[in-house]
Chains A and B, each alone.
Chain A
């Protein structure tokens, strides 16, 4: 196992290097002079000249890449054109918001999706099964941003029970520890903040959860059906175990494996879905940050976010693979 992990980590190096090269090329592929691109449209000639020297833009391209890459390794992604803040700092400020949204969505998706899938499979071809799978089919075809708007309209505008956007009520202050508001407010014992941040969290995470929820339900169902057809289930039934015991104690456990892969794969999709959901609900995470940066042509921010996002994406995929091997000893790691 140790060797397998080491090997997988080594394999990551070329991929991440490739990602770095692509992110680096971004500024150089964009039309116009890179120094001017980094400095922004309204920068003075002096600033541009300064930047050109700072980033070594007068040097050959591979030297430039090396200079930039050394900076990135030190965690320096440059400064935003718009706010002039360090990009790395801005990303880290916003990252917990995205994490909280993603984790909460995943929780909803896994619980609801898995339960729906198990029920569907144990009552195959019933009305319940058809309904669940029908809903799941709509779920995978859903434009996330539209669903977000609809939820906002129904619960925020018509019934006025939930806020339509933002992170927490503006009159509540919460001291930051982890940046995850739910956890921070529990640790601080700030129940008002807990209630408020929870309310703000519901709609965006339900919207974001839809697609993974539908996928998980579909995969769980087919995986359950496969397990239920196997010999050991017949043995359990022959032993006289109740159907409930057979399904919940034996079948579910064995059906979980493919579901874990799907959860891992969906975490990546969740990051991408966050781009849209955060924009709809004015959620101050990195998804909205990168969308705004692209709209404003804030290249250093786009570059930093791309690196960061892809890094997360690759790591999550790796963890999924490792979990898979860990849980199912039948899979030989090579």
Chain B
């Protein structure tokens, strides 16, 4: 366009590309909504997610769409008379933090092993990458289940299990990006002026290989939430009465036969939309930060 400066600062440029990407924006909106729900659950949720004692008189009542519904329970109640909507809102807190912890574990371990393998190469690289190959021989969810079988059931253990399962993927991504950066001239310069290896790794190699970590971290967060819910559904993750989406589904799906469809439907929708949002955001970030990978 005439009259418009051609050079835009790179930060502005990235921002523009992000706001131009409608699906990524939509994904970001979903994520922001989830975070708000998680942080302000105490204020948003209409009811106590775990009332003691449970009010069994109002168990399995439908929501706003039916006249049989109970006042103040917009999405109906579950088998223990608890508000489904409130439990879903509190569930955001559980699922989001579980996913973040799992991905955090995978990132920290992945950065350690990936950098070691990529930077030092040779025998260190071979040993780490062979181990990664072995880990890849297990289907992810199966490996998570097996780890839970060893270390025990529960939400905290499920997070650790999923974190461990995702580590090899992360390590591979970091390794390839470190291999690329290692050959850059500015790293050579650092080595030439006598910077210590640790300094080169922590000040230069790791910070510069972080872009793919953010992209894949977002996509991984989506699958981590999904896998956490799956473990909860199988009774191996979050234990009752924690308002976790997968566990909520597991506890209420037997009641669909008697027509109480809401208690199993809405938690699943919550999982679906969170995962969808994160996938959109992750795909968008990949297109923006790493256009080479665009499909």
> What is the interface of chain A, defined by CB distance below 8 A to chain B?
14-16, 18-19, 22, 26, 29-31, 137-138, 140-147, 149-150, 152-153, 157, 164, 218, 222, 268-269, 271-273, 275-276, 279-280, 290-291, 294-295, 297, 299, 302, 306, 309-310, 313-314
Chain A: CB-nearest residue to B140: A272
Contact A26–B146 (Cβ < 8 Å):
yes
In the complex, what's the smallest C-beta–C-beta distance from A29 to chain B, in angstroms?
Answer: 5
How far apart sit A29 and B149, CA to CA, in the bound complex (Å)?
10
- Would you call B249 and A149 a contact (CB within 8 A)? yes
Whether B272 is near chain A, meaning CB under 8 Å from some CB there, is yes
Q: Are B268 and A146 in contact (CB under 8 A)?
A: yes
Identify 7 residue pairs between A and B in the complex whose beta-carbon atoms are under 8 Å apart, listed by A's number: A18-B137, A30-B149, A145-B233, A146-B272, A297-B149, A306-B146, A310-B142
Residues of A with C-beta under 8 A to B173: none
Contact A306 B134 (CB under 8 A): no
Nearest A-chain residue to B268, judged by Cβ: A146
Interface contact B133-A142, CB-CB below 8 Å: no
Min CB gap A305→B, angstroms: 8
The residues of B that contact A16 with a CB separation of less than 8 Å are 137
Residues of B within 8 A of A (CB): 130-131, 133-134, 137-142, 145-146, 148-150, 152, 222, 226, 229-230, 233-236, 246, 249, 253, 256-257, 259, 261, 264-265, 267-268, 271-272, 275-276, 279-280, 295
Most interface-central of B152, B256, B264 (chain A CB within 10 A): B256
Task: Name the residue on B nearest A303 (C-beta).
Answer: B146
Say whether B295 contacts A302, CB under 8 Å. no
Whether A313 lies near B137 (C-beta < 8 A) is yes
Say yes or no: A150 contacts B268, CB within 8 Å: yes
With contacts defined as CB atoms under 8 Å apart, how many contacts are there between chain A and chain B in the complex?
127
State whether B139 touches A313 (Cβ < 8 A).
yes
Q: Is the CB of A150 within 8 A of B280?
A: no
Q: Which residues from chain A contact B259 at a C-beta distance below 8 Å?
A: 157
Residue of A nearest to B276 (CB): A141
Q: Is A272 in contact with B272, judged by CB distance below 8 angstroms?
A: no
Please name all residues of chain B whose beta carbon is closer than 8 Å to the beta carbon of A295 when the two chains form the complex.
234-236
Assess whether A306 is in contact with B138, with CB atoms less than 8 Å apart: yes
Question: Which of B141, B150, B261 is the one whose CB lies under 8 Å from A272?
Answer: B141
**Contacts A149-B256, A271-B139 given: A26-B272 contact, CB under 8 Å?**
no
Distance in Å from the Cβ of B270 to the closest Cβ of chain A?
10
The residues of B that contact A268 with a CB separation of less than 8 Å are 139
Among candidates A15, A30, A31, A150, residue contacting B265 with C-beta atoms closer than 8 Å = A150
Q: For A157, what are the chain B residues with a Cβ–Cβ distance below 8 Å?
A: 256-257, 259, 261
Docked CA distance A271–B140 (Å): 10
**Contact present for A149 and B268 (CB under 8 Å):** yes
A14-B134, A146-B267, A294-B236 given; 12 more Cβ-contact pairs under 8 Å: A15-B133, A26-B150, A143-B230, A143-B275, A149-B268, A164-B257, A271-B142, A272-B141, A294-B145, A294-B146, A295-B235, A313-B137
| Bound Cα distance from A273 to B145, whole angstroms | 13
Contact B146 A138 (CB under 8 A): no
Shortest Cβ gap from A33 to chain B (Å): 15
Q: How far is the CB of A18 from chain B (nearest CB, A)?
A: 3
Residues of B close to A141: CB separation below 8 A: 222, 226, 272, 275-276, 279
Question: B130 touching A18 by the CB < 8 A rule?
Answer: yes
Residue of A nearest to B134 (CB): A18
Least distance between B229 CB and chain A CB atoms (Å): 6
Measured CB to CB, the closest approach of chain B to A162, in angstroms, equals 14
Cβ–Cβ contact B139 & A269, under 8 A: yes
CA distance A145 to B261 in the complex (A): 15
Residue of A nearest to B279 (CB): A141
In whole Å, how far is B294's beta carbon from the nearest beta carbon of chain A? 10
Closest 9 CB pairs of A and B: A146-B268, A18-B134, A272-B139, A141-B276, A141-B275, A272-B141, A294-B149, A153-B256, A143-B271
